[in-house]
Copies of this chain bind each other. A is one copy, B any other.
């Protein structure tokens, strides 16, 4: 099952050096989840060959503009391009107020249903669940209420050894129970031990998205054991005072967090406009946590 994230924007605060404000596209089993939506996200989707209309779920971490100014444009374009299927938006309550005001003054009545789910940034809770995954909020520590998101795949059913089952002419109606791990005592006395006819499915994976935040152990429990941890790394550690003052993280701290929470891989992004080249941020993080990568726009990272 596909579980991967494409970076659409990696810049903090303002667009610069051809880097755009934050946005990421998560693909889980060909369902598309947009995480944050900085200005120009719809242009980035076009640029990298994605159809915006495939997105059914949008998660907005907080109401600093570099994380949501592109949302109204994306929603408007979907409307103009004839979308009819619903869109779920998970965001702070005030975003609904902003969108409503903008639609009102353009006299736009959006043709497709928008289901708006209000996020509270007080305690970590599950906000979404479908057949593929659950989404839990991560309570970050920023200048305004801000949540990250933990996307956790569900355990899949066991895989059938189909050739063996067919060879032994096991009836099809037994397959669903076998997938669920059940041993079967058949009426003819035969016993089908599950272990002989199935293999375990892939281990469910966990992707955590943390932007923007001060280094704060308060959210470590929620992000424990990520397969991929995306963490903001706005500054080099030499700018720690500035990071603390603006409630951001340094590359060194992001790496320390990945290490402390047992992540398998770290992806850093939300780069300050002061860094024209990003190699120093990568090297700093790798000095603490080797398996670090830069969030490069247009790149897709398997989780």
Give the B-binding residues of A (Cβ under 8 A).
Answer: 13-16, 18, 20-21, 39-40, 42-43, 46, 63-66, 69-70, 72-73, 76-77, 80-81, 92, 94-95, 97-98, 101-102, 105-108, 143-144
Contact = CB atoms under 8 A, between A and B. Distances in A.
Contacts of A14: 42, 76-77, 80-81
A293 to B, nearest CB: 25
A105 B94 contact: yes
Contacts of A63: 105-106
A214 to B, nearest CB: 16
Nearest to A74: B39
Contacts of A65: 72-73, 76, 102, 106, 108
B106 A13 contact: no
A63 B20 CA distance: 24
A203 to B, nearest CB: 39
In the complex, the count of this chain's copies comes to 2
A34 B11 CA distance: 24
Nearest to A42: B15
Contact of A42 (B39, B107, B108): B39
B98 A46 contact: no
Contacts of A97: 101, 105
Contacts of A144: 105-107
Nearest to A77: B14
Given A18-B46, A39-B69, A107-B144, 7 more contacts: A13-B77, A14-B76, A14-B81, A39-B40, A63-B105, A65-B106, A65-B108
Given A97-B101, A105-B94, A43 B42 contact: no
B46 A16 contact: yes
A43 B15 contact: yes
9 contacts: A13-B77, A14-B76, A15-B43, A39-B43, A69-B69, A69-B73, A95-B105, A101-B101, A107-B144
A145 to B, nearest CB: 10
A250 to B, nearest CB: 19
A15 B77 contact: yes
A73 B14 CA distance: 8
Contacts of A77: 13-15
Contacts of A43: 15, 20, 39-40, 43
A80 B95 CA distance: 21
A90 B233 CA distance: 38
Contacts of A18: 46
Nearest to A47: B18
Interface centre among A14, A16, A18 (most CB of B within 10 A): A14
